[in-house]
Amino acid sequence: MIETKNIKKCYGDGCKVTALNDINIHVEKGSFVSIMGPSGSGKTTLLDVLGCLLKPTSGDVYLDGKNVIGLDDNELAVIRKEKIGFVFQQYNLIQSFTAIENVELPLRIKGKSKWEAEDKAKRLLQMVGLGDRLTHKPSQLSGGEQQRVAIARALANDPKIILGDEPTGNLDTKTGQKILNLLKELNQKEGYTLVVVTHDPRVAEYSDKIINLLDGEVLNETYPNGSREHEARRGRK
């Protein structure tokens, strides 16, 4: 579903600052993959590259078998709209919209009628357990409920991939656990491919693979369910 080949991202003249260096990862269709590492290790930069929000300096990125390197901004926007759903730490909901209106928005942008968008948004909110909160605005919802709205919105255009940037970062332990349960349910029962950047060690329990980054490089890949470990190219032990 996702593959990168020798991805490098740097900034400044002469590549003064290297954010990512020689990144080679593979994400299987229908898997739950977490990207972990200390602050400044390149986690969010890598997620932005995978989500076609940021172009790498060099290397290749394949999404669903298509190399997206070389596509223009309009073509990348189409990829994001059709293949990727985003879930952020800050929820990014429109405060003046109700829950159902927030979920309807990407459907309306895609050209769905008001009736079609409303019907699908209602079904998605019911699926994430918010069938009784359709007309509530973000200020009337808890943090966990807002994140559920954000997840429903991410699913609106039937993406193949869900990318999450610290989706439990603003939530207390109990609420964060509920969001993790929901994400895992979407992965196992609905077949979504999930890639999540996180500092939360609990995510390891839900992941098929954890990609550990350090200083912009892949340190290793761990497999919580199989206890396998793949050492990175630079040979750290």
Q: What is the mean pLDDT of the chain?
A: 90
Q: What is the pLDDT of residues 66-89, one digit of tens each?
A: 999 989 999 999 999 889 999 988
Per-residue buried b or exposed e for 150-188, using 16+ beta carbons within 10 Å of the residue's own CB: bbbbbbbbebbbbbbbbbbbbbeeebbeebbebbbebbe
| Opening angle at CA 166, ends 208 and 25, nearest 5 | 45
Query: Running DSSP on this structure, what letter comes out for residue 227?
Result: T
**54: buried, middle or exposed (CB in 10 Å: 19+, 13-18, 0-12)?**
middle
How many Cβ atoms from other residues are within 10 Å of residue 132's Cβ? 9
Q: What is the pLDDT of residues 116-144, one digit of tens each?
A: 999 999 999 999 999 999 999 999 999 99
Does the structure show a pLDDT above 90 at 168? no
The mean pLDDT value for 150-176 works out to 91
Cα angle 179, 206, 27; round to 5: 110
What local confidence, expressed as pLDDT, does residue 226 receive?
A: 63
pLDDT of residue 147: 93
Two tokens, residue 66: 């298509």
> What domains appear along the chain, each with residue ranges and CATH number?
2-231 (3.40.50.300)
Could you give the C-alpha distances from 164 to 28, 86, 118, 180, in angstroms and in order? 16, 6, 25, 11
Q: Say what the pTM is.
A: 0.88
Average pLDDT over residues 16-24: 94
> Contact at 8 Å (CB) between 167 and 183?
yes
pLDDT > 90? residue 7: yes
DSSP string over 8-21: EEEESTTS-EEEEE
DSSP state of 1: -
Lookup: tokens for 76:
């990348």
